[in-house]
Chain A
Amino acid sequence: MVGLLVRLKLRLLRNALKSSRQARVSFILSTVVAGIVAIGVFASLAALRDQDAAVELTTVTFTTFAFGWLILPLLVFGLDGTLDPSTLALYPLRTRPLAIGLIAASASGAWPLANVLGLLGVLIGLARGGLGLLFAVVAVVLQVLFCIVLARFVTTSLAGLLRSRRGKDLAALLILPIFALYEAFVQVVPRMTAEGKLTAKSFGGIDAWMRWTPPGLAAHAIHDASTGHPLTGLLRLLLLAAIIVLLGALWIRELAHALVTVDTTTQAASVNSTALPFANRGLVGTIAARSWVYQRREPGAKIFWGLIVIIVVASSASTLRTPAYMGGLIGAAGFAAAFIGIFNGDAIGQAGPAFGFDAVALHGRKPLRAYFAGMNVAMALIAVPLFAVLLFVMAAVAKHPSAGFLALAVNLAGIGAGMALGDIFSVILPYPVEKRPGSPTPKAVEGYRLQVLGATFGSLIGTAILAAPVIVAVVLTGHVSAVVRMPALLIAGAAYGLVLATIGVRLAARLAEDRIPELTEIALRSKL
């Protein structure tokens, strides 16, 4: 069974490699990144040698890995066929050998290997003497085993949920905390470290409770064995092994249960709604109603708004408490607006086959204007208040709350520009998208890279250029009384944005008028 499931996992990896050029590139890239991570983690752990906080930082590293093993399988559920017990439920397999086989399958592949090799950095960084080295090897093996069993237990327990539409929606939203953490590591941690606010000693407090978590037990066992307390270290390892055995037993129980449990994925709950909104607003209201409902229910839309907020905050936060705060606020206003165009520059491809539902009813310039205008209305209903709150909070953090009005003026113009560009690019550079296992948002189908780049950079540069007059007005009116300046700029920004959005809608409708069949063909090629 072990050999069979390991071969299955390797065959699945090999077949994914053969499926398309994109899959091949992703696989090679992933393997290279795994190698880099292994070397990086090994070097980082090895560099802790003779440092005061070596055991604390090792504990943090071990815990981070365990966290990764906990979260990532939830995101890539469906990518690895051996993760879902339902795929094996039809075969006459006994639970115990199946469980051991599944653990072995989990341990196969580039990333598990990178995990082991990287953590072996403790051989240099933390271990001392023969006993320390021995404990380090055992601790790393137990740590990786713990991660695997934990991941298996969680995915098996949640398998039913993860197969369901709701579970997939929830799992997709996990990208937001992960992305926020990534941004924090890339933008905040280096800055805090440079400013001396984050040092190795900062982890001392965390270690007081983290040492009793399974990753902490592994790290401290090595430290104990290396500092003349082998018995304490042994007790820690035995405790860790007991936790793994307990977790394994729980997992086997869950596995046995999952193999004989009915698939309830079609038995979903109802939604609370009586009727679509904007009932008396004609075709614009009809499209706006559908788009509005989608903004609330589609996880992709929530991810989109969440990502914008994270990116804008992370990229501008460093300037807020400096004399350059105004530049940071205007940059945030423009950046947020540009993302409207970037994320909606393929509205028809993103709608997917459902666009055919609209296409059998709509034709001609006027209905198409209503189509684009309706989508923009729904988007503006979220973008305007969300960005306004975001900019005013940032202005308050900068201790210049009134500057929020100026940033909002730029933002309103930028939202109009972003919408206009999104509408136009949706027609002139449409591309089909597909949902891939492991990716919470749809990606462009292979062969449409140019369209993606065109729409992305076109929106970014186009929004900057189109919003420039309002930015210039903000800069040049510094001497004008705030009572006049603020409302005048706000009204001008909003009016200018509205004009841009209207021009965008009209241009997009004119361009789409004779291209409905071609746009439908692109939309039908999307796999959502």
Chain B
Amino acid sequence: MGGVAISVEGLRKSFGEKEAVAGIDLAIAAGSFAGLVGPNGAGKTTSLSMMTGLLRPDLGRIRINGVDVWADPAAAKALIGVVPAEARLFERLSGEELLEYAGRLRGIPAAEARQRAAQLLDVLDLVPDAKRLVADYSTGMRKKVALGSALIHNPSVLFLDEPLEGVDPVSADVIRRLLTRFVGSGSTVLFSSHVMELVEQVCDHVSIIDKGRIVAGGTIDEVRGGRSLHQAFIDLVGSRANDGEGLSWLGSSSD
């Protein structure tokens, strides 16, 4: 591992009265597979949007491999790949065309972009559907083609927002293996999720975010402290469970 790939200092963002991100500090080492976990509405997507130059922060500084995202957005964007939670894709392109377009958008010559697109389609198990419109893709296929689009220019740092949300186990395995291979080559992945088992399996570093603040961060072992990550998360964020005492009628024995 080298230096710090993602550095975030004092990141803040409010929407009107609501403070979505209330001062985040992060330092993710290059070559890390890092997870940003938190309950719904904790500020994960807002934080990732600011880190990827798509949402202007109120305060704070973000650097990717030393490049300040908001001082030199063009240079920073050249270093990163982004897979948003709700894939923002050109629905009327086929999977094959979308990957070629993503490559050419990043300045890769057309022939090279086509070649990389074909290889990515193969690895992502999308060859049979390469000529179908993205509009007709299933959730798993959309996630996979979005991942391919984010990887085609070989970024140093990859941001993923809920990459396996709604994805079938087979597609999830394809995505997981590709990401592991990507990190193995020295690149960095930061992904948000609320699936603790996944984070526990693949990440070497995790930050737990709640109400716009990082409430714990470090290696997986440091954060879980002898418990499961799931339990550590519940302990840190607080259980919001309602045991459903009002549902006395529910269940087979309630007749």
Tell whether A and B belong to one assembly. Answer: yes
Bound form: Cα–Cα A242–B101 in Å:
58
| Per-residue contact bits, chain A 253-271, to B (CB 8 Å; 1 contact, 0 not) | 0000000000000101111
Residue in A280, A294, A361, A364 whose CB lies within 8 Å of B92: A294
User: Can you list 22 A-B contacts (CB < 8 A)?
Assistant: A165-B136, A266-B138, A268-B133, A270-B94, A270-B132, A271-B131, A272-B131, A273-B96, A276-B97, A283-B104, A285-B104, A289-B104, A290-B93, A293-B93, A293-B97, A298-B92, A353-B88, A354-B89, A361-B102, A516-B53, A516-B73, A524-B88
- A518 to B56, alpha carbons, bound, how many Å? 8
Give A518's nearest chain B residue, CB to CB. B56
Chain B residues with CB below 8 A from A362, complex form: 77, 105
| B110 proximity list for chain A (CB < 8 A) | 275-276, 279-280
Q: How far is the CA of A528 from the CA of B86 in the complex (A)?
A: 13
Q: Are A355 and B88 in contact (CB under 8 A)?
A: yes
Q: Which of B52, B73, B88, B149 has the most CB of A within 10 A?
A: B88
A297→B105 contact, CB < 8 A = no
Distance (whole angstroms) from the CB of B108 to the closest CB of chain A: 10
* CB pair A273 B88 closer than 8 Å: no
CA distance A290 to B100 in the complex (A): 10
A357 contacts the other chain (CB 8 A) = yes
Binary contact readout B130-149 vs A (1 if CB under 8 angstroms, 0 otherwise): 01110110100000000001
0/1 per residue, A237-249, Cβ < 8 Å to B?
A: 0000000000000
Q: Which residues of A contact B91 (CB under 8 A)?
A: 354, 528
Q: Is the CB of B82 closer than 8 A to any CB of chain A?
A: yes
Q: Indicate if A363 sits at the interface (CB-CB under 8 A).
A: yes
| Beta-carbon contact of A360 and B86 below 8 Å | no
Q: A165-B136, A293-B92 are in contact. Are A361 and B106 (CB under 8 A)?
A: yes
Q: Is the CB of A297 within 8 A of B101?
A: no
Q: How far is A271 from B134 in the complex, measured between Cα atoms in Å?
A: 11
Residues of chain B at interface, number, CB under 8 A: 39
A458-477 residues at the B interface, CB under 8 angstroms? none
- Tell me if A354 and B88 are in contact (CB < 8 A): yes
Chain A residues positioned under 8 Å from B100 (CB to CB):
275-276
A360 to B106, CA, bound (A): 10
Q: Apart from A266-B138, A275-B110, what 14 extra A-B contacts exist at CB < 8 Å? A: A268-B135, A270-B94, A271-B131, A271-B132, A276-B101, A283-B104, A289-B104, A290-B90, A294-B92, A354-B89, A355-B88, A357-B88, A361-B102, A520-B55
Q: Does B111 contact A (CB under 8 A)?
A: yes
Complex Cα gap A141–B106 (Å): 64
CB of A356 closer than 8 Å to a CB of B: yes
Number of A-B contacts (CB under 8 A): 105
Q: Are B84 and A286 in contact (CB under 8 A)?
A: no
* A354 to B102 alpha-carbon distance, docked (Å): 12
B225 within 8 A of partner (CB): no
Listed residue (A269, A270, A273) with the most chain B CB atoms within 10 angstroms of its CB = A270
Instruction: Give the size range of A's interface with the partner.
Output: 35 or more
Shortest A344–chain B CB gap in Å is 17
Contact between A359 and B54 (Cβ–Cβ < 8 Å)?
Answer: yes
Q: What per-residue 1/0 map shows which CB atoms of A483-520 lie under 8 Å from chain B?
A: 00000000000000000000000000000000011101
Give every chain B residue within 8 A of A446 (Cβ-Cβ): none
Binding site of A, secondary structure by majority: helix, strand, loop or mixed?
helix
Q: Kindly supply a per-residue 1/0 record for chain A positions 342-383, scoring 1 wherever the CB is within 8 Å of any chain B CB and 0 otherwise.
A: 000000000001111111111110010000000000000000
On chain B, the residues within 8 Å of A359 by CB distance are 53-54
Are A363 and B136 in contact, CB atoms less than 8 angstroms apart? no
Q: Is the CB of A357 within 8 A of B92?
A: no
Interface check A434, CB cutoff 8 A: no
Bound complex: CA of A439 vs CA of B43, how far in Å? 35
Q: Which residues of B contact A353 (CB under 8 A)?
A: 86, 88
When the two chains form their complex, are residues A360 and B90 in contact, meaning their CB atoms are under 8 A apart? Answer: no
Q: How far is the CA of A272 from the CA of B93 in the complex (A)?
A: 11
> Is B28 interfacial (CB-CB < 8 Å)?
no
Cβ-defined contact, A276 with B104, below 8 A: yes
Min CB distance, B143 to chain A, in Å? 14
Q: Chain B 63-82, CB within 8 Å of chain A: the 1/0 string?
A: 00000000001100100111
Contact present for A357 and B102 (CB under 8 Å):
yes
Residue in B53, B84, B89, B132 whose CB lies within 8 Å of A363: B53
Instruction: Report Cα–Cα, A106/B133, bound state, in Å.
Output: 35
CB distance from A527 to the nearest CB of B (A): 11
Q: How far is B94's CA from A270's CA once the two chains are assembled, in angstroms?
A: 8
Q: A183: CB under 8 A from chain B?
A: no
- The answer for the CA separation of A354 and B100 in the assembled complex, in Å, is 15
Q: Does A80 contact B (CB under 8 A)?
A: no
A273 touches B131 (CB 8 A): yes
On whether the beta carbons of A517 and B53 are closer than 8 Å, the reply is: yes
CB-defined contacts of A289 to chain B, threshold 8 Å? 101, 104
Also in contact, A363 and B93, with CB within 8 A (given A356-B54, A357-B102): no
- B107 CB-CB contact with A under 8 Å: yes
Contact flags (1/0) for B24-54 with A, using CB distance below 8 Å? 0000000000000000000000000000111
Q: With A and B bound together, what is the CA distance between A472 and B135 in angstroms?
A: 48
Please indicate which of the listed interface residues A268, A280, A361, A516 has the most CB atoms of chain B within 10 Å of its own CB: A361
Q: How far is the CB of A375 from chain B (nearest CB, A)?
A: 13
